[in-house]
Amino acid sequence: MVRAAILPAVGAPLDIREIVLPDPGPGQVRVRLAAAGVCHSDLSLTDGTMTVPVPAVLGHEGSGTVLAVGEGVTHVAPGDGVVLNWSPSCGECHHCSIGEVWLCSKALSGVGAVYAHDAEGTPLHPGLNVAAFAEETVVAARCVLPAPAGIPLAEAALLGCAVLTGYGAVRNSAQVRPGESVAVFGVGGVGLAALQAARIAEAGPIVAVDVSPAKEELARAAGATEFVLASDTTAKQIRALTGGQGADVAVECAGRAQSIRAAWDSTRRGGRTTVVGIGGKDQKVGFHALEIFHFARTLTGCVYGNSDPARDLPLIAEHVRAGRLDLGSLVTDRITLDGIPAAFEAMLAGKGGRSLVVF
């Protein structure tokens, strides 16, 4: 029996209680969690913006120690530190075959499985594959990656989503070059990682945009050289900060129609806008045909930072070890499982960076 945060139904509050985990079967790994980050995607699952079978144990950004492995698992062993990978590639589908592993058609095939039961015997699904909001979890072997050496295991949890996504949006999707100007919309965990990535890429100026003035200190610590409070004049302010041209690159991390449109408007002619935030179907973004022609901007979606974790995790880890990327600065609250509902409320209110559940 282990404690876990269960989503009983869409729109229902989380239920923190004990569940029963099986021993790992063939091709599975049992992990004792060290930490789990509270991501906006978890909130999107609770309100139905994203859908998974319920009841489910949420949490997809985590790290921990291997307790046991099933038959056929050879890349990790009991006692190893691991980072959970909620979006593992199958290596066989069309997207994997052309190197776009972040778009793997089978990445979320595990969410419909029953991986555990509650004390009354009710079947439970593993949220986004890994069910990290629990003291322990059982996952497919391809959902665990060896934790990079030299990085505290609890902070390594952030590598599993926030950092791979934010860093990847800048490096892999937008492909920011030295000297380019960057505007990051939304200063949460992913946005803070994107700001650090822009600094590592030697971009400048780096403009952070958020609805909360309290985020300015966090943004500047992460690498922002300028801070703009989101308003109807955001695009105008960013143009003024970038020589009247607009930013070379905008990275949108909020997933709202208004901020996506503002990010597009903030870029120069020929600029690039990368949308990382996950918005609902009700968030409609409009463009007219003439502006698409005239501005010649690029608007692109970005899934999981367009990252290949096996390729990108060692590179990011080297930035961390060298002091170029600070994982601890992304975390503004360290909480227990019981603190997750309050972390969701803070997220809705636009407060803080990443909340980290520490076990």
Two structure tokens written together for 308: 């290949």
For 181, counting Cβ atoms within 10 Å of its Cβ (0-12 exposed, 13-18 middle, 19+ buried), the class is: buried
pLDDT (tens digit per residue) in 2-15:
999 999 999 899 99
**Residue 142 falls within a domain, yes or no?**
yes
Judge contact between 359 and 193, C-beta under 8 A: no
Tell me: do 14 and 122 sit in the same domain: yes
Residue 321 lies in a domain: no
Domain presence at residue 54: yes
Domain CATH number, residue 275: 3.40.50.720
Q: Are residues 177 and 291 in the same domain?
A: yes
Provide the number of structural domains found in the chain: 2
153 in a structural domain: yes
Q: Residue 337 belongs to what domain range? A: 2-160+326-358
- What is the chain's mean pLDDT, rounded? 95
Asked whether residue 50 is domain-assigned, the answer is yes
Q: 173 and 80 in one domain?
A: no
CA angle 282, 50, 229 (to 5 degrees): 60
Section 24-43 average pLDDT: 95
Nearest-CA neighbor of 174 among 260, 277, 251, 95?
251
In whole angstroms, what is the distance from residue 213 CA to residue 197 CA? Answer: 22
What amino acid occupies position 60?
H
Domain assignment of residue 218, yes or no: yes
The answer to whether position 104 is within a domain reads: yes
Site of tokens 């200063």: 187
State the pLDDT at residue 352.
87
Residues 114 and 55 in one domain: yes
- Residues 213-242 have a mean pLDDT of 96
Q: Check whether 279 has a pLDDT greater than 90.
A: no
Residue with tokens 């985990």: 21
Within its chain, how far is the Cα of 303 from the centroid? 9
What is the rounded CA–CA span in Å between residue 10 and residue 56?
A: 10
Mean pLDDT of 244-264: 96
Please tell me whether residues 6 and 154 are part of one structural domain.
Answer: yes
Average pLDDT over residues 40-56: 89
Quick one: CA torsion of 15, 21, 24, 27, rounded to 10 degrees?
Answer: -30
pLDDT digits (tens, 9 = 90+) for 73-109: 999 999 999 999 999 999 999 999 999 999 999 999 9
- Residue range 154-167: mean pLDDT, rounded: 96
pLDDT at 348 over 90: no
DSSP code per residue over 39-92: -HHHHHHHTTSS---SSEE---EEEEEEEEE-TT--S--TT-EEEE-SS---S-
Answer yes or no: do 204 and 348 share one domain.
no
pLDDT computed for residue 52 by the predictor: 87
Tell me: do 300 and 199 sit in the same domain. Answer: yes
| 311 within a domain of the structure (yes/no) | no
- Distances 130 to 6, 232, 303, 316, 347 between C-alpha atoms, Å: 13, 40, 18, 22, 22
Q: Lowest-pLDDT range, 27-41, 135-149, 215-229, 342-356?
A: 342-356
Same domain (yes/no): 57, 155: yes
Q: Residue 282 corresponds to which tokens in the numbers above?
A: 């009700």
Q: How many CB atoms lie within 10 A of CB 2?
A: 16
pLDDT exceeds 90 at position 49: no
Domain check: are 221 and 331 in the same one?
Answer: no
Contact 133, 159 (CB under 8 A): no
Residues 138 and 170 in one domain: no
